[in-house]
Homo-oligomer: A and B are copies of this chain.
Amino acid sequence: MAFDIDPVLRRDCHLLGRFRYAHLLLNRHSTIPWFILVPETDETEVVLLPHDDQLELFHETSILGKFVKVTFNADKINLGAIGNVVRQMHVHVIGRFETDACWPGVVWGAPLATDEYGEDDLRRITRQLVDYFGEDFTPADQPG
């Protein structure tokens, strides 16, 4: 059966592509590099995923976190698997800056500026992902 990314995630995020295990989204708010991994599963709890799937998800969380840290020169990486509102499993990997609007609070539930990425930004970030991850990352045909 085809897997559909939750409509709230689709509304709030650009679909950038996918790793081997999870889809990669980018929150539309452009002032904070806020990535989201979405594995294809009906399970809602990360800790209840089958062992090998958990390892895959942790691995992609880790390599994505390192990418965000070095590419955006983030002061802190925030990781979160929450899912109180959107139950479809998704893991947040967020680059935070001591100068960003939410610092030192968390971004979840915080009011965020409406600045959005332009097409050039999305192309640049997709290129950075392809350069960094090589064949581990497959870009979407059209980031959207």
Binding site for B on A (CB under 8 A): 44-48, 54-55, 58, 61-66, 69, 76-85, 96, 103-106, 108-109
Specify the chain B residue showing the minimal Cβ separation from A91.
B79
Apart from A45-B69, A47-B63, what are 5 other A-B pairs with CB-CB below 8 Å? A47-B62, A54-B62, A78-B84, A84-B96, A105-B109
List the number of copies, as a whole number. 2
Q: Are B84 and A47 in contact (CB under 8 A)?
A: no
Please give me the 7 A-B residue pairs with the lowest Cβ-Cβ distance, nearest first: A47-B65, A84-B104, A79-B81, A58-B58, A80-B80, A106-B108, A47-B62
- What is the CA–CA distance of A16 and B24 in the complex, to the nearest angstrom? 37
- What is the CA–CA distance of A82 and B46 in the complex, to the nearest angstrom? 17
Q: Are A65 and B45 in contact (CB under 8 A)?
A: yes
Nearest Cβ on chain B to A58's Cβ, whole angstroms: 4
